[in-house]
Chain A
Amino acid sequence: MSILSVENLRIAFGGVVAVDGVSFSVEPSEIFALIGPNGAGKTTLFNMVSGLYVPHNGRIHLGGEDVTHLAPQELARRGMSRTFQNLQVFFRMSAVENVMVGRHLHEKRNVLAHLFTLPSVHAQNRATRAEAERLLALVGLADVADKPASSLPYGALKRLEIARALAAEPKILLLDEPAAGCNPVETEEIDAVIKMIAAQGVTVVLVEHDMRLVMRISNRIHVLDRGRTLAEGSADEIRTNPDVIAAYLGGMGAQEAARARH
């Protein structure tokens, strides 16, 4: 059974139909990529799936349950987590504290105990911090754990968001352009992190512009163009699909994709 399925989703902003009748389903533990030219509706689709936008039409099922109208915090309880294209980092907190917020749902949240710091709160704080440090090490940020998030470079913040999302122990992780704005070295690091996440049994859905990254790591690719589905298939199928080449990859993209094979 698919872990996430989306049927006939549609949303319009004023007169602009941003996403129109898109359907797909994602199988457990696979890496599923959404690609498409700028303005194709990828991030809008993500925002609907993660509960930030309510679709005008269509259904979203998560683990077999209809979650179409659930708020993001309800989806988080059901094992969904995500990162953002335009960073949503807690800039006034340190790197490790950012990731510690990700543990929120796994912590005991008794306010009275917090006010008077019972020993159990100390123990829990230590456990949360240890887990956060482990995740920071996983994305290669162990040495900046106590730095304020505002002092970190862009590529590090991208990885910080991934660590924070992983802290929630998601069953399904949505990554919105994890490699955007990153240099080739950083992109490769993120590539490795995503593969590792998937290897641990977490389903990954990603929106990405970096074609080499997408072609290299995705099990299946779903192509959007102007809010509609253009094609879906493996990297090889997408690479050779004439519609996709025409609409999205163009000359440069086809070259890049060909290079990625080697």
Chain B
Amino acid sequence: MRRFIKSPFLLVIAVGIVVLALPLFLPSNFYLRVVALVYINALAVLGLNLLMGFAGQVSLGHAGFFGIGAYAVALGPTYLGLPVWASLIGGTAFSALLAFLVGRPILRLSGYYLAIATLGMGVLISMVVSNESDITGGPNGMEVPRLVLFGWRATGPLTWYWIAGVSLVIGVWVMVNLIESPTGRAFRAIHDSEIAARVLGVQVARYKLLAFVLSAVFASVGGSYFALFDGFVTPNTTSFLLSIEFVVMAVLGGLGSILGSIVGAAILVILPQFLTVFHAFEHIVLGVIIIVFLVFLPSGLLPSLAPLFRRRTS
């Protein structure tokens, strides 16, 4: 039984069941929209958690990759005449390439220095999309065409619920696979002791770069979905504040916890919807809630609560 519970594949099935069942309980399109947003954010946070929670490298610029994904599906069809799906793939490839080129020099840094370097990268991307207003519409943003696959137009909350939900399940599956593979073990080894990892033959710089590129891919796909879902893209998708939100989601849910990434995204997307009753104090209340969470559950929601469940089931 214990072994069954520990089977990592069970997590994929559990997330799959929740994704399948939720639409039955959601009373309106508004809720479908919110949950679809949770899934989209969770995709980006999954990638960030791979980098921060497993490989132990910080990034304060992940909204940069999210924004590249978002603008790719707007710019590709508008200026290059590409189909939307091709623009999505192109944007993902561009994010991966950029992460590779930027990551090579900056991943030599660690701790605060790496945080500042990634922050700089995010701010630069944000400045490009804000200032190149002839192409991107600047702060006014630009329209995003609908995703069309085989003559079928992807539109409406339910459609995007399914696209984001299925993608999330695939994302969780890929993540579970990775964590339990030699690559995943190398990531986790680097997190705990770089010296020991090197002595065992792990090419530390190469694996850090790989984690950075993979996390950029997740963020970029999330960004593309977000823009397609909204039908509009603004520089907010690249903002420093969004980078911080991703970090908060990852930390709140639990660094190094796959389910935690989803829970963290859910909290930070859903909570503000309910806090609107506080009107002007909304952000203050949200801030206080985050602080309370982190004070009482410092290792994140999921890792802190997991032992309680384990005690109850055994």
Contact = CB atoms under 8 A, between A and B. Distances in A.
A-B interaction: yes
Interface of A: 50, 52, 71-73, 75-77, 81-82, 84, 88-93, 97, 100-105, 107-109, 111, 114-117, 121, 124-125, 128, 164-165, 167-168
Contacts of B89: none
Contacts of A88: 193, 195-196, 199
13 contacts: A72-B195, A73-B203, A76-B199, A88-B196, A91-B192, A93-B192, A101-B185, A101-B200, A109-B182, A109-B183, A121-B181, A125-B180, A168-B201
Contacts of B58: none
A84 B195 contact: yes
Contacts of B186: 101, 104
Contacts of A117: 177, 180-181
Given A111-B183, A117-B177, A92 B199 contact: no
B123 to A, nearest CB: 30
Contacts of B180: 117, 125
Interface of B: 174, 177-178, 180-186, 188-189, 191-193, 195-204, 210, 256
Nearest to B202: A104
Contacts of A125: 180-181
Given A104-B202, A114-B177, A165-B200, 19 more contacts: A73-B201, A76-B198, A77-B201, A88-B195, A88-B196, A89-B196, A92-B188, A92-B191, A92-B192, A93-B185, A101-B202, A104-B182, A105-B200, A105-B201, A114-B181, A114-B182, A114-B183, A115-B177, A164-B200
A102 B200 CA distance: 6
A71 to B, nearest CB: 7
Main SS at interface, chain B: helix
Contacts of A108: 182
Identify which of B182, B186, B191 gathers the most chain A CB atoms within 10 Å of its CB: B182
A74 B180 CA distance: 25
Given A107-B182, A114-B183, A101 B189 contact: yes
A176 to B, nearest CB: 11
B201 A111 contact: no
A97 B200 CA distance: 13
Contacts of B184: 114
Given A81-B200, A90-B196, A116 B189 contact: no
A111 B193 contact: no
Contacts of A101: 185-186, 189, 197, 200, 202
B238 to A, nearest CB: 27
A116 B174 contact: yes
A245 B185 CA distance: 47
A116 B184 CA distance: 13
A50 B200 CA distance: 11
A84 B189 contact: no
A75 B200 CA distance: 9
Contacts of B195: 52, 72, 84, 88
B181 A73 contact: no
Given A73-B203, A104-B182, A90 B189 contact: yes
Contacts of A116: 174, 177
Contacts of A92: 188, 191-192, 256
A111 B188 contact: no
A125 to B, nearest CB: 7
B185 A97 contact: yes
B306 to A, nearest CB: 12
Contacts of B196: 84, 88-90, 164
8 A-B pairs with least C-beta separation: A76-B201, A114-B181, A88-B196, A117-B177, A90-B192, A105-B201, A72-B198, A88-B193
